[in-house]
Amino acid sequence: MAAPPTTTVSSDDLSMDSSLNASPSIEDRGMYFKKEPRPTTVSLQEWQAWGTDSPIPTQVAEIVEEMIDLDRESDAQMKFGGLGGKLKGDFKTQEDKKHRARYKDLDDSEQKLHFFSARQIACRLLGSRGYLCQKCWLPLEDCMCSRVVRCDLWHQIQFWLYMHPKDFLRQNNTGKLLWQVFGINAAKLCLFGIAEHEEIMWKAFMHSGRNNVWCLYPNKNTPTKSTEESFAGYILNDLHSETHQKDAGQTFNFILIDGTWSNSAAMFRRLKEQSYLRWGDDLPCISLATGASAMHKLRPQPSWDRTCTAAAAIGLLDELHLLSQFNSLGLDKQAEAVENSVDVLLASLTNRRIRMGRSITRRQRHHNDIC
Ligand SMILES: [Zn+2]
């Protein structure tokens, strides 16, 4: 057994982000100001429409209220706009000052992480309201929802999108595609540093047992198994029989880390730490054998296989499909459904760029940024 990890998150991840993006839509957003009406509380319905069935996290709700109060009390009005759809103007200055002070006063790194994440989420919720489609996270005029084809994921697979707050409501995020295609129960959103979300996820893992949880993490320094090795011991003869479907005991949980390459290391460390706390043992990991070559037909991008969340899900389903125990479950078709949704997302982002007069060079860069 390897030594347990000693750190939860790096100091970089805990630092307050002075350029806090309300909606990380890169430059596309142009000038967009929320002037009227004054911001209001985020309702449960509004929260859940973004892709989760969880209650509103307490700390997120608190920060939303604080921002609304600040908006009401101060001369400065809450504004979002400019490059990246950031908080703007005097309100930003005041909000920043207030929340930086709060952050400094917090005692430990756990509290700081919770606060950091909740503040990111709260700002994104308020800044994206009325601007992004709640299902596809694209600007309303570019909504791709009608072109996404739904598909049922094999009922014993459960995906967990462990998402960094900075990826929440990001237009070119691909993790969101999984619940657009498979639904929010088959592909569950778990926001990094949001206590309620992490608790829901770990509760499910404890219920399934450590033998039924895997993290897809392509880090060469981590002991990982291939898909084939991970399932060598499983005898799944009756998996698609009626009687077996009633056996709720066996769910295969796959964690997909949904963050930029630099953020994902801290997210992985936190998962490992939780694994030691709960099981006294390391988190089982799978590394995909297919990687870039299998993805080549999908998109010839250098960064694609390494960090793209949808590509990881596609790769896993394809590799499982090759195993005899799994090859009659239609996992290849389910992988294809995700692949098609990636194509739809890329086309939508590209069309938007062309319509807004972006150059081919930018379009190329955009493709590289897709993950
Ligand atoms: Zn949409």
> Which residues, in sequence order, are CB contacts of 69 under 8 Å at separation 6+?
none
Q: Where are the alpha helices (DSSP H) in the chain?
A: 11-14, 44-48, 58-73, 89-105, 109-128, 176-182, 195-208, 227-230, 242-245, 261-279, 291-296, 304-307, 309-322, 331-355, 360-368
Q: State in Å: Cα 57 to ligand 1 middle.
A: 24
Average pLDDT, rounded, for the chain? 81
Contact 192, 165 (CB under 8 A): yes
User: In whole angstroms, what is the distance from residue 195 CA to residue 203 CA?
Assistant: 12
Q: State in Å: Cα 111 to ligand 1 middle.
A: 34
Break the chain into its structural domains and give their ranges.
11-131, 142-233+247-352
Q: State in Å: Cα 107 to ligand 1 middle.
A: 41
List, for residues 201-246, the tens digit of each pLDDT value.
Answer: 999 999 999 999 999 976 656 677 888 888 887 766 445 444 444 4
DSSP secondary structure of 178-245: HHHHH-TTTEEEEETT-HHHHHHHHHHHHHH-GGGEEEE---TTS--B-HHHHTTT---TTTTSHHHH
Q: State in Å: Cα 41 to ligand 1 middle.
A: 23
Q: Residues in the chain with pLDDT < 50?
A: 1-15, 17-19, 21-28, 30-31, 34, 83-84, 237-238, 240-246, 292-306, 360, 362-371
Check: pTM over 0.75? Answer yes or no.
Answer: yes
Distance from the Cα of residue 111 to its chain's centroid: 21
In this structure, are strands 86-87 and 80-81 parallel, antiparallel, or unpaired? antiparallel
